[in-house]
Amino acid sequence: MYMIGAMPAHPIRVSHHERGGCAMLAGEFMTGVLALSSGMAMGVLLARAGGGTLILSIIILHYLLHLRHSILFGTSAAVTTVNAVMLYGVRRRALQGALKPAIWFTLPGLLGMILSRGIPHTVSTPFRLALLGLLMVVNTSISLILPKNVGLPPVVHLKRLALVGCAIGIIVGYFGGAGGFLAFPTMLISGLPQSLAVGSSTLTVAGFSLTAAVRDILRADVNWMVVLPYIAGASVGLFAAVYWVRLRIPAKMWHWTATILILAAGLFLLQQNWGSLYRPSIAIYDGIKGGLLHEFRD
């Protein structure tokens, strides 16, 4: 006799396909949670330390959220564009007068960026990340020693801004929106006071990132499952830090925190991708050395 409600003789089997689907859903959920929480932290940092911290997004996307190389720079450009626009939106009163220098810098920069992307080049992602880390270290060091012209009347050299903007645009063409962080120190070098360079560089980063993101969006090189929660978290963190939460931490402390983070991130990128930068340098050195030895022997 069989008892009513007895357990079946054979347990229910779950196929590998079903288990794989559950694991994938769990992985996507965790990625969304990480993107949301890291976006909130980035939003708070943006509100308190400024647009220079936008470059940290590429570190978060690659090493925390584990985006593959083919969609890394496109996704980074998408989130950087939105974050830069939101930052300028909440700080627009404090950044008055930044629009004109930004236009003179950004438009030639976009031309240089388009020209750079039109030149065929095969550069691996690790090489780009290593070079980006090197630029972050150099950029942070220059920003620390450059005079900020605080308290001086603004002197804007528009032609110099245009020339420097075009040169930066050519560099940015290799990194997408990630290279836009170079705008701030080069604006200071061009004679723009810090009060204007902060807002102008934020608009420039938005312009560069948008140009890079549009092409990648059309090529489907953007991970929207990461972009949407990251932007949502960044908007919450940004607006909370600006309007709701009173963080009694001096602005100078936030500035030094951001500087240390960017410098550490640049060194981390160099450490993780040094081989891709080191091997081509050795190959070039060996080639030059071999050529010189051949000439002297003959």
Read off the pLDDT of residues 278-294 as tens digits, 9 standing for 90 and up: 665 444 444 444 544 54
Quick one: average pLDDT of 20-26? 62
**Range 237-253 average pLDDT:** 77
Q: How far is CA 159 from CA 143, 166, 188, 194, 197, in A?
A: 22, 11, 14, 18, 16
Two structure tokens written together for 174: 């290799």
**How far is the C-alpha of 31 from the C-alpha of 41, rounded, in Å?**
15
**Does pLDDT of 23 surpass 70?**
no
- The answer on pLDDT for 218 being more than 50 is yes
Beta strands, E only, the chain:
none
With a cut of 50, say whether residue 178 has pLDDT above it: yes
pLDDT in tens, 144-173: 776 555 444 556 678 888 999 999 888 887
Q: What is the pLDDT of residues 33-92, one digit of tens each?
A: 999 999 999 999 888 887 778 889 989 999 999 898 888 888 888 898 898 888 888 877
Is-contact 78 216, C-beta < 8 A?
Answer: yes
- Which pLDDT belongs to residue 292? 45
Would you state the torsion angle of the CA atoms of residues 73, 132, 202, 144, taken in this order, to the nearest 10 degrees?
A: 160
Domain limits of the chain?
Answer: 25-286
pLDDT given for residue 38 in this prediction? 94
Q: Where is pLDDT greater, at 137 or 175? A: 137
Q: What mean pLDDT, rounded, does the chain reach?
A: 78
Average confidence (pLDDT) over 246-261: 79
pLDDT in tens, 91-121: 777 667 788 888 999 999 999 988 887 766 6
pTM higher than 0.75: yes
